[in-house]
Amino acid sequence: MAGDLVVVAGGGGFIGGHLVADLLNEGFEVRSVDSKPASRWYQVHDDAENLVVDLRLKDASEQAVAGARHVYNLAADMGGMGFIEHNKALCMLSVLINTHLLQAALAHDVERFFFASSACVYAGDKQTDVANRGLRESDAYPASPEDGYGWEKLFSERMCRHFGEDFGLTSRVARYHNVYGPKGTWRGGREKAPAAICRKIAEAVLTGRHEIEVWGDGQQTRSFTYIDDCLYGTRAIMDSDVVEPINLGSSEMVSINQLVDIVSDIAGVEVERVYDLAAPKGVRGRNSDNTMIRERLGWEPSIPLRDGLEQTYAWIFDEVEAAMPAGDRRAAGVDAR
């Protein structure tokens, strides 16, 4: 209810920052919590209580949750495929965040707890074909998730389940599928495919060097969920009676080559692709089966990929342009926004 305290763990991150804004707009009292210094948060909202603590520590989680009615746990040490493949231990240490937040939520009589899981929990042998039929929630078992990050998410899902069964804590779990949009990570190694492709094409436009690197052969497939759909779905799942983990993702599957095509067309530029077959590329094909979310919520993510990418590319272009030394840009007058 508006006026109640809601905690967003990971509020300094991409999705968390947008969620804080959404909750504030509806009149909630919000405590935004992150371990990064506020200067590194993607969005800082003056109307929220902004708390910098390390949620891997039990005392910090107690401090973060005190007085809250609802808790959204979006906090994790994660990034795109390059980060996930090379930082398995760091990804798994995020289990401390969810463990301590669950304990704190129980101790402080939190009414509802939301855990942001991931499509990385799905069994690898169900993602070997580019023509992926769509991953159903049951496809997480028998368990064979993404090493490191996927195992942590699957274990934390089970923690939520058992805190409900054993202690009566009401929790909701959404499996996010590749969320993208403005005000997110677009460089530095933690960015995901949509942001990386937008950045590379923006750089191609600004420098006049129309060549980009693509990880893998470009035929691997994914679905990408625009941030507005993610926010609506997150809030709807939190308020629902869905006790099982549920997919929150678009079912509009494209190849990475098609993703490049769409962004290139938005930018009005043709680029040559150099394929790095040795780069991290993840599973061969992944898509979201939205049968459950349609049946249980009467809704599914529906914002077309091109529409979301237009907004994302425009924002990333401005960020790239602002960060690029003037000497690296080609002739003045470039505007591919």
Choosing from 72, 149, 176, 180, which is the catalytic residue? 149
Provide long-range contacts, Cβ within 8 A and 24+ apart, for 79-82: 79/185, 79/189, 79/190, 79/191, 79/192, 80/185, 80/189, 80/190, 80/191, 80/192, 80/193, 80/196, 81/192, 81/193, 81/215, 81/280, 81/281, 81/282, 82/189, 82/215, 82/279, 82/280
Distance from C-alpha of 247 to C-alpha of 300, rounded to nearest angstrom? 9
* CA gap 260, 248 in Å, rounded: 24
Cα(90)–Cα(191) distance, integer angstroms: 16
Q: Are strands 272-276 and 211-215 parallel, antiparallel or unpaired?
A: parallel
Q: Would residue 149 show up in a list of annotated catalytic residues for this protein?
A: yes
Which residues have a catalytic role annotated?
A: 149
